[in-house]
Chains A and B, each alone.
Chain A
């Protein structure tokens, strides 16, 4: 600790000296960051970064507006983030810069692409990074429908390789919601609507394959909760137009219960993941049935072969009994 202490004090002095002489410089940071990283001193980074960001903003505001200045800011942010990927002041500063750039830039799609890619790289090194993914979600309103669809496709592979990263699934949910939003509000609304339907259907199918492949992954089941919520409502509204004996909603619910019984019937494993899978599956069925009274009735009816919802929950998640006894009695 003594040598670290001395290093920090010296670095701070060196940094402040540099500031007084000619403003901040990336070169100074390029020296300080790697060495302080050896000491694993993220708090030091925070202190350093907060000061740097404030200085940057003061300088950018004081000189005449210049595109190249703003692009330097992005480069500085990228440097800082490579050492401190969770630093919110830096992400915030990045957004501040982009907002300023957006007013003058023609090639926003390209900028957004680069930003998205930056977050993807950050996310690789810093898992479940709330700040980084929040930044990626922030870009969505700047995207046109085509870019939203592209992002859904491009981020799919990454999500598959990181099924425990809730942030990436939240990002996908935000993209899907943007499609729905577009379906309501934009000029290409008909395209949005049909695209939304197709993407949703595909997302449900893809999610199920992942659920079956990776046992007991909460983020996968949470994603399914979100997907079913809208999907069931959508199918119920199609009730009148269906021609087959069973309505589309009934068919979907039967499939979901089939998924549940597959989970219930799976052999136990040494890691206890099957048990978690069973718990998550039961809670998922409870989730769907809580969406509205009509759905609840349909679920109970189809569950008969497996047992009542209460029996299933009592077997699958006894520790959560306070939760489900309350919900089932309402």
Chain B
């Protein structure tokens, strides 16, 4: 990275934008963030654990069709807060496997629901957290995903054929975690993703689709995992991404939209992957996320004073993790799993 001009550095000290260069600066940052409004970690843990247990609650009912993803959001948050042991691993693994369809090799969103890549990734990610990939028929899952790649390199979400760059990321991420990325046509997959790049540097859901932070995360993450980041114009994309920061410090997903905590993940992780995170004000963002907490009952909402949910709780904590908030485990920006989990998967010899 380029060395900053000392004058601008002095001027920016008050906004405390960290470029990650010096360790002393980082710990000052951490202290500052810890003081300004705290992360009510214990409350969030309790919120998640209670939600996991109350399978007949109202929230559970309305999220029924995507419970597998709900499990991933909740459990990853627990792990990031060093509390994964608060749930029964065997119970979770059993439940996840009951969503598996052995004939197809995919996972459904809940028991008895049709398979879809969305829930297949979530299931694999949950099993990664518990280091239980051994229960999987990795080849069968790889076949399911390979079967969903289309001729142009894109991926469908399920047998009904809906195509979206989200599914490209999901397929690539899942296969990479299972050490079976070579089973798809990686070159074609990358080609398709690059064809979704827009003139503003961003990416859409399909070629010509409007740039959207969520889709950008998927494309950037997929390109990172396949070692294809050279296709990205980092300055151009970094520019689009840093313009997502609103006056209140939060990040939005597209021009003119309101800030939403979930973009703390999608925009932030993308910026980190392309090494442009110093272009936003991280301290202001952290403050925004902390303001979205329900400090009484636990949980984080999309913006201050709204109702909380598991989804935003995860993204808020994940965003803070990316900014090295004290007490939160570091998270991998491309795999969206705790760094120690990812290291365990890739640094120890697997079958």
Contacts and interface: CB of A to CB of B under 8 A. Distances in A.
A128 B61 contact: no
B232 interface: no
A96 B2 CA distance: 49
A47 B65 contact: yes
B160 A325 contact: no
Contacts, number: 95
Given A166-B210, A323-B242, A323-B279, A4 B257 contact: no
Given A41-B62, A128-B257, A167-B210, A322 B200 contact: no
Interface stretch (A20-28, A77-85, A143-151, A217-225): A217-225
Interface in B46-74: 58, 61-65
Contact of A5 (B12, B58, B210): B58
Interface string A5-16: 100110000000
Interface string A303-330: 0000000000000001111110111011
Contact of A325 (B8, B58, B208, B256): B8
B199 A222 contact: no
Contacts of A164: 256
Nearest to A2: B58
**Contact residues on B (Cβ < 8 Å of other chain), bracket:** 35 or more
A112 to B, nearest CB: 16
A54 B112 CA distance: 14
Contacts of B200: 222, 225-226
A330 B212 CA distance: 27
Contacts of A319: 15, 281
Interface string B230-272: 0000010011001100000000001111000000000000000
B65 A50 contact: yes
A229 B201 CA distance: 13
Contacts of A54: 114, 160
**Contact residues on A (Cβ < 8 Å of other chain), bracket:** 35 or more
Contacts of B65: 46-47, 50
Contacts of A229: 199
B213 to A, nearest CB: 11
B209 A1 contact: no
Interface in A28-47: 41, 43-44, 46-47
A165 B210 CA distance: 12
A96 B160 contact: yes
Interface in A210-236: 217-219, 222, 225-226, 229
Contacts of B147: none
B235 A218 contact: no
B101 interface: no
Interface of B: 2, 4-5, 8, 11-12, 15, 17, 58, 61-65, 114, 160-162, 164, 199-200, 204-206, 208-210, 212, 235, 238-239, 242-243, 254-257, 278-279, 281
Per CB-CB distance, the 10 closest pairs between chain A and chain B, nearest first, are: A43-B62, A92-B162, A170-B210, A218-B255, A47-B65, A164-B256, A1-B58, A322-B279, A166-B255, A323-B279
19 contacts: A88-B164, A89-B162, A128-B256, A130-B254, A134-B210, A137-B210, A165-B256, A166-B257, A174-B208, A219-B255, A219-B256, A222-B200, A225-B200, A320-B242, A321-B11, A322-B17, A323-B238, A323-B279, A330-B235
